[in-house]
Amino acid sequence: KAGVTQTPRYLIKTRGQQVTLSCSPISGHRSVSWYQQTPGQGLQFLFEYFSETQRNKGNFPGRFSGRQFSNSRSEMNVSTLELGDSALYLCASSLVGDNSPLHFGNGTRLTVT
Amino acid sequence: LAKTTQPISMDSYEGQEVNITCSHNNIATNDYITWYQQFPSQGPRFIIQGYKTKVTNEVASLFIPADRKSSTLSLPRVSLSDTAVYYCLVARNAGNNRKLIWGLGTSLAVNP
């Protein structure tokens, strides 16, 4: 069974631009969540989607948004990029059921210059 | 919600048993404890999950005392390939509002 796939793997953008990241969950997984990871800050929760509905959101500004499609694939968008948005963005999928383990992709490394 | 605290780093040698403890003093009745392993440039990978007492799988054991205010991940006979960052996660499930509290990770270095 294929794992969680995130594209692109690396991305370089300049301040003020916007970016869209994509995540394809494991087949059969309907819950998708997104995280920002920076050195010293650990994993910061962005949002979680289930059946195309956002069911939880972390403490990030409105520049960060996401959505989920009917096939459970998800995208996240960051508008008006800032230097501080440089990070590894991770997507995780899980089965229905709140204690189901998260399965992570290898992330998208975003660099904002 | 439970705040998770774990050591920033640990050192060990090949063949030793490594125990990493996570503190979660305010853990609630319905919270579950999960541990993940992360290698550079990869996403975290699930290791083990538990609610109370002891859980064991093919790669690790998880010890949770009766008060559940801490948990200990035990890696038996580590090898160089176990060098990674280990994260403790406390998850609270409240209907559609799951809350996840991650520790900042413990960087384990296994030396030859």
**Is B86 inside a domain boundary?**
yes
Chain A contact for B63 (CB, 8 A cutoff): no
Confidence band of B95 (pLDDT split at 50, 70, 90): low
In chain A, which residue's Cα lies nearest the Cα of B96?
A: A55
Which 3 state secondary structure label does DSSP give A6?
strand
Mean pLDDT in residue range B16-43: 93
Q: How does B62-100 read in b/e, with b if 16+ C-beta sit within 10 Å?
A: bbbeeebebbbbbbeebeeebebbbbbbbbbeeeeebbb
Q: Which of A19-33, A83-97, B11-25, B89-103 has the lowest mean pLDDT?
A: B89-103
Q: What is the pLDDT of residues A16-53, one digit of tens each?
A: 999 999 999 999 999 999 999 998 778 999 999 998 99
Which residues in chain B are contacts of A56 at CB distance < 8 A? 96-99
**Is B65 inside a domain boundary?**
yes
Range of the domain at B55: 9-105
Chain B contact for A56 (CB, 8 A cutoff): yes
Q: Count of domains in chain B?
A: 1
Residues 6+ apart with CB under 8 A from A91: A4, A6, A21, A23, A25, A32, A33, A34, A35, A74, A76, A104, A105, A107, B43
Q: Do A106 and B43 touch (CB under 8 A)?
A: yes
Residue B98 has pLDDT above 80, yes or no: no
- What per-residue confidence (pLDDT) applies to B94? 65
**Is B2 inside a domain boundary?**
no
Which residue carries 């709140």 as its tokens? Answer: A98
- What per-residue confidence (pLDDT) applies to B30? 82
Structure tokens that stand for A93 in this block = 């999928």
Which residues in chain A are contacts of B6 at CB distance < 8 A? none
Task: Give the number of beta-carbon pairs within 8 Å between A and B.
Answer: 54
**Is B4 inside a domain boundary?**
no
Q: Do A104 and B32 touch (CB under 8 A)?
A: no
**Is B24 inside a domain boundary?**
yes
Q: What is the pLDDT of residues A59-102, one digit of tens each?
A: 999 999 999 999 999 999 999 999 999 999 999 999 876 678 89
Chain B contact for A39 (CB, 8 A cutoff): no
**CATH number of residue B21's parent domain:** 2.60.40.10
Q: Do B93 and A107 touch (CB under 8 A)?
A: no
**Is B110 inside a domain boundary?**
no
Q: Do A107 and B43 touch (CB under 8 A)?
A: yes
**Is B49 inside a domain boundary?**
yes
In chain A, which residue's Cα lies nearest the Cα of B39?
A: A106
